[in-house]
Homo-oligomer: A and B are copies of this chain.
Amino acid sequence: MSGTLNKAVVLLSGGMDSATCLYWARAQGWQVYALSIGYGQRHAVELQAARRLAQALPVVDHLRLELDLRAMGGSALTDDIPVPTAAPATSSIPVTYVPARNTILLSLALGWAETLGAHDLVIGVNAVDYSGYPDCRPAFIEAFQTLANVATKAGVEGHAFRIHAPLLHCSKSEIVTMGLALGVDFALTSSCYDPDAAGQACGLCDACRLRLAGFRAAGHPDPIRYRAPT
C-alpha cells in the first residue's frame, strides 16, 4: 500500500556517493525526497548533476536550498584557496574541509524531514576513502542520530529518526559496484572539486583521484569526461 510507505530524505550533492545513496533509498522501498544545498561551492556543476539524478530516479520531490557559506570562509571549496592537485596526505585534515559541513547538511535534512513526516535520513559519507574529514566517521553519524531524537517534535513524541550512511564502510570500488547493481547511471554524476565551465572533471584533485582509483579497482570504466589524461 503506497500510503504506508516510509518517506526518506536523501542528501544529494550530485556526486557518485550521494547518487548511490539515492538508489539505495529507493531499493529500501521508501518514498525518496532529495535535498541539495547550494552552499557557495566552486563546483556548482554538481548541483546540475543532482537535478539530473533526481529526475532520473525519479524522486517525489527535490528541494534545493541556498545557503552561502562563503561568508564564513575557511575552505578551498568555497574560498580562493587553490584546490590542491598533489596526492592527499593521509594523516591530516585537508584544506578542502568545509567547517561543520555535514552537521549543517544533516540539520537541514532533519528540518525538512520533520515537515514531511519522514524519519529516515540518508547521507553518503564514508570512513574508508574519506579524505580525512572528521564529519565522515561513524561516531559523527551516531552523535547526530542521538541529537535528532532529542531535538525534534517527532523524536520527543517517539518517532525515532534513523541516520543512514550506507556507504560508511565501503571503499570507492565497492561504491562503484554497489551503484551499478542498484542501477545508477554514473555518467550523470559529478565529483570534481575543480571542473571547467563545460563540467569536465580535472582528473587531478582529491575527489577525481579517489573516483578514478575506485572505478579502476572495480574493473569498470568511468563514463564521465576528463580534461586531463587519466
- Residues in A lying within 8 Å of B, measured CB to CB: 63, 65-69, 71-74, 93, 97-104, 106-108, 110-115, 134-135, 137, 139-140, 143-144, 146-148, 150-153, 155-156
Contact = CB atoms under 8 A, between A and B. Distances in A.
A98 B63 CA distance: 17
B111 A134 contact: no
A135 B152 contact: yes
A107 B115 contact: no
A175 B151 CA distance: 23
A227 to B, nearest CB: 31
A111 B69 contact: yes
Q: Which 5 A-B pairs have the closest CB atoms?
A: A74-B115, A99-B114, A100-B111, A143-B147, A99-B111
Copies of this chain, whole number: 2
A63 B156 CA distance: 32
A134 B108 contact: no
Given A67-B67, A104-B107, A104-B108, A135 B115 contact: no
Given A63-B71, A74-B114, A151 B107 contact: no
A150 B143 contact: yes
B100 A104 contact: no
A153 B110 CA distance: 23
A166 to B, nearest CB: 20
A127 B220 CA distance: 56
A65 B68 contact: yes
A112 to B, nearest CB: 5
B103 A72 contact: no
A146 to B, nearest CB: 5
B74 A65 contact: no
A210 to B, nearest CB: 20
A73 B114 CA distance: 10
A148 B101 CA distance: 12
A143 B147 CA distance: 5
A103 B69 contact: no
A199 B99 CA distance: 35
Contacts of A102: 151
A67 B65 contact: yes
